[in-house]
Chains A and B, each alone.
Chain A
């Protein structure tokens, strides 16, 4: 079955700098890759997603890139702000609808 690896597990950046979180997946049939943000004690929230027919997608300060050949995808956050501090999860899904999640990255934005 699908396996998703996420790195780094923790990331600390200065406010205003960029943050990059990377994930790799194992199943070449996976075709949908969402990213979720989870603040402490809150539910995971879908922040951006990408399908396998697209190489990059951007929404304001966040962007996701996908490399199908290498089977990896990344989340990019530019001009980071304190409210970006949270745990971020990547996930992958293929023909089966279930999402397989990475282990999460705890992002801390230092003022």
Chain B
């Protein structure tokens, strides 16, 4: 079946602009995660959605970052007033309820000029 998909694959923006990144999880996966990977670094947790429960936002680095998940499926990560340090690959992952294995999308490479 189809894996996790993300769009756009690349996004170049100017400092101060807002950006929206989209994630389509694997069909039937109730859990959705956003991570950030800076160049040559590990993955940093941002936010986690599970069904209708309140999301775990503990990893969001500032109030410029927000995310929503509509209808329990597609999620959008929004970064307001982008800064150069926001440049990174933003990865989305999903998993089945009760299962720990997370499956990643191809990521969105964000470049803030």
How many Å from the CB of A43 to the closest CB on chain B? 4
Q: What band does the interface of chain B fall in when counting residues whose beta carbon is under 8 Å from A?
A: 20 to 34
Chain B residues near A101 (CB-CB < 8 A): 35, 42-44
A34 to B43, CA, bound (A): 13
Partner of B91 from A43, A51, A104 at Cβ < 8 Å: A43
Q: Which residue of B lies closest to A6 (CB)?
A: B42
The interface centre, meaning the residue of A34, A46, A98 with most chain B CB atoms within 10 A of its CB, is A98
In the complex, the answer to whether A97 meets B56 with C-beta atoms within 8 Å is yes
User: How many residues on the A side are at the interface (Cβ–Cβ under 8 A)?
Assistant: 23
Partner of A98 from B45, B106, B107 at Cβ < 8 Å: B45
Q: Could you write out 19 A-B pairs with CB less than 8 Å apart?
A: A6-B42, A43-B105, A43-B107, A44-B43, A46-B101, A49-B101, A89-B42, A96-B56, A97-B33, A97-B48, A97-B50, A97-B56, A97-B95, A98-B33, A99-B102, A100-B45, A101-B42, A101-B44, A103-B41
In addition to A44-B104, A51-B100, A97-B56, 14 A-B residue pairs with Cβ atoms within 8 Å of each other are A34-B101, A42-B106, A43-B104, A46-B103, A49-B100, A49-B101, A89-B42, A89-B43, A96-B48, A97-B31, A97-B33, A97-B50, A101-B35, A101-B44
In the complex, the answer to whether B42 meets A34 with C-beta atoms within 8 Å is no
The interface centre, meaning the residue of B41, B44, B45, B91 with most chain A CB atoms within 10 A of its CB, is B45
A34 to B102, CA, bound (A): 9
Q: Is A45 an interface residue (CB 8 A)?
A: yes
Question: Nearest 6 pairs between A and B by C-beta?
Answer: A101-B42, A32-B100, A43-B104, A101-B43, A98-B45, A103-B42
